[in-house]
Each structure stands twice: as structure tokens, then as C-alpha cells.
Structure 1
Amino acid sequence: MNAPWKTGISLALTMAISYSICALLYALWPVQGIAFLNALFHGLDFGRLQAPQDYGVATFVGPLLVLSVWGAMVGTLFAWLSAKLHGRP
């Protein structure tokens, strides 16, 4: 059996990688990124929320850290609860 923290780290890394890819795509093609969000959320206008400043390192690292820590905590909790519900120590 894997320790719950291993699942947490796996989720944190998955979130960090997927966020990094998403951020890269948005940095390269911001107009298409906003259009994709508009379509994904049934026509909500995300263009109004677009930040007037350029996308930089600071706006990338903060959310990356938050998502990674959150992923580690949620993944660990999920694995621990799953083990308890399945009767494993």
C-alpha cells in the first residue's frame, strides 16, 4: 500500500505540470485562451477579467505554489480517507 502522502505528491505534481502547460499556452496565445474559456464556460465573457499587465514570473509562481500545496493536501486527505473507507490502516 502506498502512503497517503505519495498520492498527495502525485496530485501536486500533476497540478503543477498541467498549470505550467496552461500558463505557457496562455502566454503564447492569450486571445485564443480567453476565447477557449468563453466557450468552455458556455459563453461567459472572460475578456472583461483579462489583466491589463503582462503575464510574468510573479503571476506564474504564486498560483503554481498555491496549487501545488493544495494538491498535496487534497491528495493526501483523499488517499487517507480512501484507505480508511476500505478498511486499510
Structure 2
Amino acid sequence: MNTPWKTGLSLALTMAISYTVCTLLYVLWPVQGIAFLNALFHGLDFNRLQTPQDFGVMTFIGPLLVLTVWGAIAGTLFAWLSGKLHDKS
């Protein structure tokens, strides 16, 4: 039986891994990352969002924690609601 908190943990870990990979790709290739965002959002100019500030550990950790906690809460809530809607305990 899959409990809601396991689904929440799965989403949290998925978000943490995805964010880490995205960050690594952006750190390695920032120009290509911005170009990809421009293409992904139909030409919206993300170049203005680039700052001259270096990307540091705290710039990574803060959003990582927020996304992970949010994923855990959202995934747990989703699984709980899904179980209720499908008449499962």
C-alpha cells in the first residue's frame, strides 16, 4: 500500500534532483541556458534576468529547500486527496 507521505517524498526527491541537474547545467552553460528559456517561452527575453552576481552555494540551497519542502507537502496532499476521492483508506 502506498501511503501519502511516500508520494510526497517521491515528489520532493524528484524536484530536488531536477533542480540540482538544472542548476548544474546553468552553471556550466549560462548563455545556452538563457537561450533555451527564451526558446521555451516563445521568445520572451530572459537576458534581463541575468545578474552579474556569481552563483553561490546559498543561492542554490535556499531554493532547493523551498522546492523540496513544497514538493513533499504538495505530493502528500495530492496522494491523500486522491485516496479520498477513490475511496481508499
TM-score normalized by the length of structure 1: 0.98
Which residue matches 2:16? Answer: 16
4+ long deviations beyond 2 Å? none
Which residue matches 1:71? Answer: 71
Which residue matches 1:85? Answer: 85
Question: How many Å separate the matches in 2 of 1:27 and 1:42?
Answer: 23
TM-score normalized by the length of structure 2: 0.98
Question: How many Å separate the matches in 2 of 1:59 and 1:41?
Answer: 24
Question: How many Å separate the matches in 1 of 2:63 and 2:47?
Answer: 20
Runs of 5+ in structure 2 lacking a partner?
none
Which residue matches 1:47? Answer: 47
Deviation at 1:3, TM superposition (A): 1.1
Question: How many Å separate the matches in 1 of 2:67 and 2:50?
Answer: 20
Deviation at 1:51, TM superposition (A): 1.9
Match for 1:69: what amino acid?
A: V
Deviation at 1:72, TM superposition (A): 0.1
Runs of 5+ in structure 1 lacking a partner?
none
Deviations 1:2-34 (A, max 9, x none): 110000000000000000000000000000000
Question: How many Å separate the matches in 1 of 2:88 and 2:82?
Answer: 9
Aligned residues: 89
Identical-residue share of aligned pairs (%):
80
